[in-house]
Structure formats: structure tokens, C-alpha cells
Structure 1
Amino acid sequence: MNNMDIATIVVIAANILVSLKGFNDSYFFDRYKFGIGAIKAGQKERMLTSGFLHVDIAHLFFNMFTLYFFAPVVIRWFSEGKFIVIYFISLLAGSLLAVFFHKNEPYYTAVGASGAVTGILYSAILLQPNMQLGIMFIPIPLPAYILGIGYLLYSIYGMKSRLGNIGHTAHFGGAIGGYITTLLFMPSLLQTDTLMVFLLALPIVLLFILEKMGKL
């Protein structure tokens, strides 16, 4: 913990405290989770509060573990303040995309920081696309941009097939938020790393093409 930035500690602590409250208080959990019906009825705060609730300890740990590794990359390139901005924009972008894709499913619900964390992950990949990342079942590290693109393509497949009890839409929306906000903070990437900016945009473009064609 001593090597972690204050902003990262605050975000992780907030997730732990709110999640623990939700674990032990079903009314609290139900009141603040993401729910299409409730959001359309006016409880817009759920689009934010749901990002601090988790289903169980494993869900919470995985999200915070991922954040622990990638937050320092974003903070090192920008600042703690901009890291917080990217985190919350990614969280809200994930919720907005979920509302867009599930607007006709009043009983659709979700919780978790995955959208915000995916935004930080995608921001880190955009900033350092060639950093080597390992993944389970693959014996050798791969460049971050390959895993980033692959992850979003998998998310599209997950959205289309409703694969598992996972909020693929929020993950994808978070990645979009992280991608766009990073470019707003550092537009020079469009010139200095044009190819990577283009490659990392391909899954995002594909998502909306498929949606326009009615394939999702």
C-alpha cells in the first residue's frame, strides 16, 4: 500500500467500503445497483453507485487487483486528478452504453467497477501499447494492444451471445470512455502513435457497425 498513489488507495477503499455494505445489506444493494427499470423511472444515480457495488469478494478482488496494476501507468503519464477523471468517465460511459443496449429490458441489472477499471486498462494500453502483458492459458507475454483489441472483440461476442453473467456492455463502454478521455488529455497521440490509435479504435467502430446492422 505504501507504494500506491493516494488516488488509487481512495478509489479502492471506496469500492471496498461500499461493496462490504452491499454484502451485508440487501436493501442497500438493491437500492443502488444498476437497473434499467429504476434508471428509466428517474433513479439516475444508480449509473454511478452501481460501479462501487460487487456481487462477492472474488468479483471485488479481481476488479481491484486489475486496477492496482494499471492505475500507476495512467497516473505516471498524467496525474492523480486526471486518473480520477478517466475512472469516473469510464464508469459512466459503461453505464450509458448498458442503458443504450438494454433500454428495452426493464429487468436488466448489473453491479461492479468493471467498466471504470476497463477504461483505466484501455487508457494504459493506449499510452503504452507495447508493454508486455501475461494472461492465463497463454504461456508467453503479448503486447498490450493485442490483448486490448482481443478483449473488446471478446466483449462484442459476449454481448451478442449473452455469454455468462458478465456485464460485457459496461466493459466495452468503459473502454470507450477511457480511450476517448485519454485522447482528449493527450491529443498528440494522434500524431505520435497514429497506428495504435487507429488499431485500438477498430473494435469500437465494429461495435457500432454491428449495432447499426441489427446484429447485436
Structure 2
Amino acid sequence: MTIIIILITVLISWQAFNNPELKSKLMFLPSAIKDRGEYYRFLTHGFVHGDFQHLLFNMYALYIFGQTAESIFSSYLFGPTFGKLAYLVFYCVAIVAASVPDYLRHQDNRMYASLGASGGVAAMLWPYIMLGPWNWFIFPPLPAILLGIGYILYSHYADKQGRGNIGHNAHLWGAIFGLVTYSVLLLSLQPELMQYFLEQLMQPKGPNF
């Protein structure tokens, strides 16, 4: 399912690179949602990107984190058949949920627009982190749990600073959605996995590249 999502996103984004009208039709425009009821934009903006670098970064992150989340959904939470569908729903709802705060903030701002899968990708961090909280990344050289916490704190800080054209607020709320929703799923369906995460959290370890 992760590969299918990536292929669909690449295809739509590639088409939008060469078709400004398509990009404009799919991107997140809070004023268009409020004025014209184009609610589909809450989701479709996650399948278009500003440029190739933006697309590559998001799809690489989705490939790394999404496959772990998909495996957990299929193997432990919902079973091999329904798990893939549940994983798809989790990803799509994360895209929508990450956009709601920006909609509330910018619904009367006709100049505001955003696009990209970052909100959905940010939600995928937490299944990966909670499976191995002390697994180290090569770059940045941090254990997963500190990267996850740092990602939320930095996104909040960067959003308050309001610099650049990066949707830090979507990153923030995508990550929060992923943490809260995934934790609820574990506690409801597989509390043993939550217990495993807590046990691992109490056993920090150094890098093993």
C-alpha cells in the first residue's frame, strides 16, 4: 500500500508540475473551502507538491516510515487484509487533520495556499518511533524518540516564527495526530505493543550504524 500511495502521489504531482490549472484545483485553499465548499481540498493537496525536491523528500520519508506503519497495521492491529485499508485511512485522515488548524487560521485569507504530503508523512513517524525508540538515525544523528519530540517542538517554534514558505503548522499537527491516534489504537487493540514501547523507552542505547 505504501508503494501504491507513493506511485499515485508521484503521478499526480508530476502531472501538476506541468499543469498549473491542475495544481491550483487540488492544492489547499482555505478560502475556496469556505466560500465554495470545495472540501475535497483537505485531502487532495496531499497528492501534489511544489517541485521535484519537495516531492522526493516527502516520498522518501513516506517510504522509510510508512512501510513500518503498514506492517504494524497489517500484522498486529487489523490483520493482513483490513490492515492495509486501515493504514490507508490513517494516512488520509492525517493529511486532513493536519490541515484543519490552518483552515481555521486562514479561512478568510485569500492569499494563503499550501500543498504537499507532509502532514500525512509526519503522522507516520510515530509507529516507527514507538517500535524502536532508541534506533539511531545517521542524519540527523539522533535516536528516534528524540527526533520525534524534537520534530514537534521545532515545528511549533518555526510556525510561531512564521519564516519561509514551509507549512510547519501542518507538520506539527500531523505529528500530533500520529502520536495521539496511534497511541489510542495501541491501547485499544494491542496494549502489549504499548507496554513494549514503554519497556524499550526505559532502556536507552547508543548509536549502532
Q: TM-score by structure 2 length?
A: 0.82
CA distance in 1, matches of 2:43, 2:104: 16
Provide, for residues 97-154 of structure 1, a one-character-per-residue CA deviation record: whole Å limited to 9, x for no partner. 2213333433210000011111112332233322211225xxxx32101011111111
Following TM superposition, by how much is the alpha carbon of 1:181 offset from its aligned partner in structure 2, in angstroms?
2.3
- Equivalent of 1:53 in 48, 60, 63: 48
| Pair 1:12-2:16 in alignment | no
- Which residue pairs with 1:29 in the alignment? 23
| Pair 1:155-2:149 in alignment | no
CA distance in 1, matches of 2:156, 2:64: 24
Q: Which of 42-51 and 99-108 deviates more?
A: 99-108
Q: Is the 8 A contact 2:27 2:115 kept in 1?
A: yes
Q: How does 1:109-128 map to 2 (within 5 A)?
A: 109-128=113-132
Q: Is the 8 A contact 1:89 1:178 kept in 2?
A: no
Provide, for residues 8-58 of structure 1, a one-character-per-residue CA deviation record: whole Å limited to 9, x for no partner. 111001101110111111111111110111011111111111010000111
Q: Is the 8 A contact 1:89 1:177 kept in 2?
A: no
| Aligned pairs, number | 187
CA distance in 1, matches of 2:113, 2:125: 24
CA distance in 1, matches of 2:165, 2:200: 31
CA distance in 1, matches of 2:158, 2:109: 17
Q: Which of 183-192 and 104-113 deviates more?
A: 183-192
Q: Which runs of 5+ in 2 are unaligned?
A: 75-83, 202-209
Q: How does 1:132-211 map to 2 (within 5 A)?
A: 132-136=136-140, 141-187=141-187, 188=191, 191-193=195-197
- Which residue pairs with 2:106 in the alignment? 102
Aligned-partner residue type, residue 57 of structure 2: F
Q: Which of 127-136 and 55-64 deviates more?
A: 127-136
Aligned-partner residue type, residue 53 of structure 2: A
Q: Which runs of 5+ in 1 are unaligned?
A: 1-6, 198-216
- Which residue pairs with 2:79 in the alignment? none
Quickly say closer, same or farther: Cα 1:190–1:69, change in 2 above 3 A. Answer: closer
Q: Which has the higher strand share?
A: 1
% same residue: 39
